[in-house]
Structure 1
Amino acid sequence: MSATHRRAVLAEFSHQAEAFNRSPTMTSDQTLRALVDLLPAKAGERWLEVACGPGLVARGLAPRVGEVVAGDVTPRMLALGRREARAAGLRNVRYVEADATSLPFAEGAFDGAVTRFSLHHIPDPGRVIAEMARVTKVGGHVASSEHLGSPNAAAHAWHEEIERLRDPSHWACLTPKRLSTLGRAAGLRLVKSRLEPFHLDFDEWLERGSTGPANRQLIEDLMERRADAYCALLPGRVLRFRLGRMLWRK
């Protein structure tokens, strides 16, 4: 990750921290509980959440395992996560500063690793998956949950324009095929894959990002031009994305 893009990520997620932590989108059963339930985590195991933000997945996973390490590059997110973990009485969640593309952990240090809504912010998502695989034990699991991009080039370009207007730290949405390929390239075997519609409040999504009035109007204009299974504005100002969850085994 370049210094310029790292600064964009730090600025955006320092801005988003509190809203992200309480967002209905980030805490919904579909985006949080379903992912935690997907993970074959067992009592006594050690898991890692990569690019954790405030560690919502880590906190959801903590009662099921021995320890969860939650890593992120944004100090404000980590401080918020520590505060929330203490308030919840979770003594087995540890927050550390960690770059997803160069994790500060030994090979095979964890029974499993998971990341959520992170890969589209990172210029080299394959390196993130490879790092997650590296720090996971043989026989362990790696999981990702992402809102994905259309395989159709024109639809994908339109969606990307919307994402960048809303969030300057956005890099690129992965297609389902690309995400699957990254896992395979990291030496992982796909165990489960789920692709489904994902609905969220359009206005809450805009407000959580760094969307000024001018960009907000541009986004609204773009949303009126087209819609597809991967990105659409529905009646009632409901935004529909395509959510992909993949679980691999090392």
Structure 2
Amino acid sequence: MATHHDNVKQQFGEQANAYLTSKVHAQGPDLEYLANLLIPHSEASLLDMGCGAGHVSFIAAKYVKHVTAYDLSNEMLSVVAQTAKERGLQNITVKQGYAEYPPFADNQFDIVVSRYSAHHWHDVGKSIRQLHRITKAGGKLIIMDVVSPGHPVLDIWLQTVEALRDTSHVRDYTPGEWLTFLTEAGFVINNIARHRLTLSFDTWVKRMRTPEPLIEAIRIYQETAADDTKSYFELQADGSFTTDMMIIETEKVI
């Protein structure tokens, strides 16, 4: 019987190279934010949690002492390792495993970063508690992910198009849900930044190899959305839309 983790492995393993070249993943104000944040941490050990094709790892490797790129997909990790070698980034190592069971020691990392990964995790609460365990006291956890606007109408629209496009999607959490996960795990919130992220429909579905019947279902669902929903997501005629993403910077104080 296939599990959710199996779905994630299949979805992303088959598309590893597509994520390496994806503009959405390879650039953005969140990566600029991260680079600036890491400048004073040249001796840090950093975990890229759910590293995907490694864009956070490649940025971080320029600023910190060592990066561990961690992901469920061995294919993604192969892309990260090969790209790091090609770019001469010798301070990146890769490790395979589940978000809920990171095989690391207590208080191992100075900084943990997760970007565009957590909405695929089977149990976010458990994963965040594990990240608290492996982060040093005084260390940072930085979450970067798409978030739901929170209003039920807007929330169900976003979750529906996400799930139709990608069967490994679990949930784009609201900012309030994120604050609950993080504070209940023991992190203190230091900073929150919101950005708008525009998704080109054609590349968005091609990157995940969404089957044509589900692409058609997304288009029909978009067409039947209420005008205020279309306005919030800046829905375009070709199906492209804009959603919210947040950077949440936290600290482990004890």
Relative distance call for 1:108 and 1:186 in structure 2 (3 A) is same
Q: Residues 143 and 246 of structure 1 are in contact (CA less than 8 Å); yes or no, is this contact kept in structure 2?
A: yes
Q: Residues 50 and 113 of structure 1 are in contact (CA less than 8 Å); yes or no, is this contact kept in structure 2?
A: yes
1:161-214: per-residue Cα shift (whole Å, max 9, x none)? 111110000011100110111110110100010122111322111111131111
Residue equivalent to 2:140: 141
User: Structure 2: which 5+ residue stretches go unaligned?
Assistant: none
Q: Residues 38 and 64 of structure 2 are in contact (CA less than 8 Å); yes or no, is this contact kept in structure 1?
A: no
Relative distance call for 1:143 and 1:18 in structure 2 (3 A) is same
Residue equivalent to 1:189: 188
What is the CA distance between 1:215 and its match in structure 2?
0.8
Residue equivalent to 1:110: 109
What is the CA distance between 1:230 and its match in structure 2?
6.5
Relative distance call for 1:38 and 1:218 in structure 2 (3 A) is farther
User: TM-score, length-normalised on structure 2?
Assistant: 0.92
Relative distance call for 1:205 and 1:107 in structure 2 (3 A) is same
Residue equivalent to 2:242: 240
Residue equivalent to 1:64: 63
Q: Measure, in 2, the Cα distance between the counterparts of 1:239 and 1:35.
A: 25
Residue equivalent to 2:251: 249
What pairs with 1:118-137 in structure 2 (closer than 5 Å)? 118-137=117-136
What is the CA distance between 1:127 and its match in structure 2?
1.5
1:132-173: per-residue Cα shift (whole Å, max 9, x none)? 111110001001001011211122122211111100000111
Q: Measure, in 1, the Cα distance between the counterparts of 2:164 and 2:239.
A: 18
What pairs with 1:91-110 in structure 2 (closer than 5 Å)? 91-110=90-109
Q: Residues 219 and 239 of structure 2 are in contact (CA less than 8 Å); yes or no, is this contact kept in structure 1?
A: no
What pairs with 1:210-249 in structure 2 (closer than 5 Å)? 210-224=209-223, 225-226=225-226, 227=229, 231-234=233-236, 238-249=240-251
Q: Measure, in 1, the Cα distance between the counterparts of 2:214 and 2:113.
A: 32
Residue equivalent to 1:151: 150
Q: Residues 150 and 230 of structure 1 are in contact (CA less than 8 Å); yes or no, is this contact kept in structure 2?
A: no
What is the CA distance between 1:35 and its match in structure 2?
3.4
What is the CA distance between 1:123 and its match in structure 2?
2.6
Q: Residues 58 and 70 of structure 1 are in contact (CA less than 8 Å); yes or no, is this contact kept in structure 2?
A: yes
Q: Measure, in 1, the Cα distance between the counterparts of 2:176 and 2:84.
A: 36
1:84-131: per-residue Cα shift (whole Å, max 9, x none)? 000000000001112111110001001010101111111311112111
Q: Measure, in 2, the Cα distance between the counterparts of 1:42 and 1:35.
A: 11
Q: Residues 129 and 182 of structure 1 are in contact (CA less than 8 Å); yes or no, is this contact kept in structure 2?
A: yes
What is the CA distance between 1:31 and its match in structure 2?
4.3
Q: Residues 49 and 58 of structure 1 are in contact (CA less than 8 Å); yes or no, is this contact kept in structure 2?
A: yes
Q: Measure, in 1, the Cα distance between the counterparts of 2:39 and 2:230.
A: 33
State the percentage of identical aligned residues. Answer: 29
Residue equivalent to 1:32: 31
Of the structure 1 ranges 34-43 and 8-17, higher mean CA displacement relative to structure 2 is found in: 34-43
Q: Measure, in 2, the Cα distance between the counterparts of 1:238 and 1:162.
A: 11
Q: Residues 120 and 170 of structure 2 are in contact (CA less than 8 Å); yes or no, is this contact kept in structure 1?
A: yes
Residue equivalent to 2:173: 174
What is the CA distance between 1:68 and its match in structure 2?
0.5
Residue equivalent to 1:14: 13
Relative distance call for 1:244 and 1:208 in structure 2 (3 A) is same
User: TM-score, length-normalised on structure 1?
Assistant: 0.93
SS of the aligned residue for 1:240 comes to strand
Q: Measure, in 2, the Cα distance between the counterparts of 1:237 and 1:115.
A: 28
What is the CA distance between 1:235 and its match in structure 2?
5.5
Q: Measure, in 1, the Cα distance between the counterparts of 2:171 and 2:39.
A: 29
Relative distance call for 1:180 and 1:41 in structure 2 (3 A) is farther
